[in-house]
């Protein structure tokens, strides 16, 4: 059984249209005194930007509030899942906007290596996977580990190394010159 604890703060005087912690604080004891253990549909946003949200029917196992002298009050609570079939994680996909390489050109000797970094934006993109290819494997070959691409010189000449994101097919190129 999953249990989630949380705390926060709220205005002591909720607006009439708000169903905030204060109204919830009033409702929970009434339901318990009536011998009911109500289930509430809960959505919890863990990052504050709708990217990582847990939702489902839950019951309160604890609730407390602290009322200070100012306009704000604090609360703490604990919820336990009441119906496991309703629990769902809503994870919003954050699309890739662009990809870049640094540096955008390299000079490497035959049988030697050099590298460049790959930067996917935004930093919180959901899928930062990418492929990397050389347009002339007879001149330069490539391999990658994380966000670093290593280029190995094979023979004299020039080659374009292209990075393509899995999400959105965004591309960036590194121009490579291989010298003896």
Structure tokens at 106: 């390299």
Could you report the per-residue pLDDT of 123-142, keeping only the tens digit for each?
A: 989 899 999 999 999 999 99
Q: What confidence category does residue 7 fall into, taking pLDDT thresholds of 50, 70 and 90?
A: confident
Give the residue-averaged pLDDT of 50-72.
74
Structure tokens at 93: 């996909």
Q: Evaluate if residue 50 carries a pLDDT over 70.
A: no
Predicted local distance difference test score (pLDDT) of residue 20: 65
Residues listed for the chain: 180
Distance CA 148, CA 108 (A): 16
**Rg value, the chain, Cα:** 27
Q: Evaluate if residue 51 carries a pLDDT over 70.
A: no
Give the residue-averaged pLDDT of 2-17.
71
CA angle 72, 77, 78 (to 5 degrees): 165
Give the residue-averaged pLDDT of 48-73.
74
Confirm if 132 and 150 have CB atoms less than 8 A apart.
no
Confirm if 145 and 109 have CB atoms less than 8 A apart.
no
Overall fold of domain 98-179: Immunoglobulin-like (2.60.40)
Q: Evaluate if residue 100 carries a pLDDT over 80.
A: yes
* Domain residue extents for the chain: 3-91, 98-179
Distance CA 98, CA 86 (A): 36
Q: What confidence category does residue 108 fall into, taking pLDDT thresholds of 50, 70 and 90?
A: very high
Model pTM score: 0.55
- DSSP code for 14: -
Confirm if 148 and 117 have CB atoms less than 8 A apart.
yes
Distance CA 141, CA 151 (A): 6
Confirm if 143 and 176 have CB atoms less than 8 A apart.
no
Identify the CA nearest to 8 among candidates 86, 54, 100, 73: 73
Give the residue-averaged pLDDT of 9-24.
66
Distance CA 34, CA 178 (A): 81
Q: What confidence category does residue 58 fall into, taking pLDDT thresholds of 50, 70 and 90?
A: confident
Q: Classify strands 140-145 and 157-165 as parallel, antiparallel or unpaired.
A: unpaired
Q: Evaluate if residue 94 carries a pLDDT over 90.
A: no
Predicted local distance difference test score (pLDDT) of residue 141: 98
């Amino acid at each position: 059984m999953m249990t989630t604890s949380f705390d926060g703060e709220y205005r002591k005087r909720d607006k009439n249209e708000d169903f905030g912690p204060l109204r919830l604080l009033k409702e929970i004891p009434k339901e318990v005194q009536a011998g009911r253990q109500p289930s509430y549909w809960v959505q919890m946003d863990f990052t504050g930007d709708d990217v990582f949200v847990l939702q489902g029917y839950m019951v309160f196992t604890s609730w407390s509030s602290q009322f200070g002298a100012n306009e704000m009050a604090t609360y703490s609570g604990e919820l336990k899942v009441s119906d496991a079939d309703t629990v769902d994680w809503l994870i919003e996909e954050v699309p890739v906007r662009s990809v870049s390489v640094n540096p955008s050109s390299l000079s490497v000797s035959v049988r030697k290596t050099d590298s460049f970094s790959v930067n996917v934006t935004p930093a919180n993109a959901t899928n930062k996977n990418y492929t990397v290819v050389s347009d002339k494997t007879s001149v330069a070959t490539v391999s990658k580990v994380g966000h670093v691409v290593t280029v190995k010189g094979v023979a004299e000449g020039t080659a374009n190394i292209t990075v393509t994101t899995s999400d959105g097919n965004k591309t960036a190129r590194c121009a490579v010159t291989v010298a003896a």
